[in-house]
Amino acid sequence: LKMNKLNNYLVPNVLVRTSDGERSYDLESRLLSDRIIFLKGEVEDGMASICCEELLHLNNEDSTKPIHLYIMGPGGSIHAGLAIIDTMKIIDAPVYTYAIGYVASMDAAIFSAGDKRYLLPNSQVMVHQLGSGCEGKLHDLSVSVNYDKRLNNLLLGMIGRNCKKFTDKEFNLIRDTIDEMSDDNEDAVMVLPKALAKKLSEFKKSVDRDTWLMPKAAIRFGIADEILTQRETEVI
């Protein structure tokens, strides 16, 4: 058994029989050879860097075959999650995402970015607005809250685009206006065309609180494409 230092869990070893004899792999490395990556636990810098490295490695091995990214977790760092999403988008290999157990917050954003997005029959998805943990001096708080508002517009614009609530052109416009938001401007939608500002505002209201979606609801919401049915087993 090998201890995963990032998430504090044990990774079992498996024996694989080949024509050259038996080889021992830790299970994560064995799955990687089948182009499977598991993203589990809180999204943070260490886990994100390993996930990005695995995506780049598999793309370098074969940029035409899909990579299968299984996700289960409560969310976490937006910056770490955006690093994973950006890496998914810059590589040529398609990335299929699978929600197992539950994907919440930043994990849901990563899941939504898959080229194909699959739900297991009893998995759940949770989407909500950004949570801020700002602290410090009064002026620093103002700056931090303003920055969090920009991130919130960026992240929800991205999720909305993945859910087909916005076109690519509309999302690019949302992203391009983020830096036009000043400390005196409370919301970046103020600099958007009126119709798009309304659409963004309505989408933000739809996920103002924790929005839990069972599989069929997740598909109706647009954040997933398909529910994987359980294999039928033959009764002996």
Q: What is the pLDDT of residues 148-199, one digit of tens each?
A: 888 888 999 999 999 999 999 999 999 988 877 554 454 545 578 889 888 9
Catalytic residue (one of 29, 79, 112, 128): 128
Which ranges of the chain does DSSP label H, i.e. alpha helix?
Answer: 27-33, 45-61, 78-90, 106-112, 138-162, 168-177, 194-206, 215-221
- Residue 203, pLDDT above cutoff 60: yes
- Residue 136, pLDDT above cutoff 80: no
Contact between residue 90 and residue 117 where contact means Cβ atoms under 8 Å apart: no
Predicted structure pTM score: 0.85
Report d(CA 42, CA 80) in Å as an integer.
10
Is residue 105 flagged as an active site residue? yes
In percent, the amount of the chain with pLDDT more than 70 equals 78
In percent, the amount of the chain with pLDDT more than 90 equals 59
Contact between residue 223 and residue 111 where contact means Cβ atoms under 8 Å apart: yes
**Which of the pair, 15 or 34, is modelled with greater confidence?**
34
Place of tokens 């009126």: 194
Spatial neighbors of 31 by CB under 8 A, at least 6 apart, are: 37, 38
Report d(CA 163, CA 28) in Å as an integer.
31
Local confidence band at 30 (pLDDT 50, 70, 90 cut-offs): confident
Identify the three-state secondary structure at position 229. coil
According to DSSP, the β-strands at 116-119 and 95-104 are: parallel
Catalytic residue (one of 68, 105, 112, 123): 105
- Residue 3, pLDDT above cutoff 60: no
Report d(CA 40, CA 70) in Å as an integer.
8
Is residue 123 flagged as an active site residue? no
Report d(CA 93, CA 11) in Å as an integer.
27
Dihedral sign (CA 107, 161, 69, 53) = negative
Identify the three-state secondary structure at position 89. helix
Report d(CA 130, CA 106) in Å as an integer.
9
- Spatial CA neighbour of 69 closest among 103, 22, 45: 103
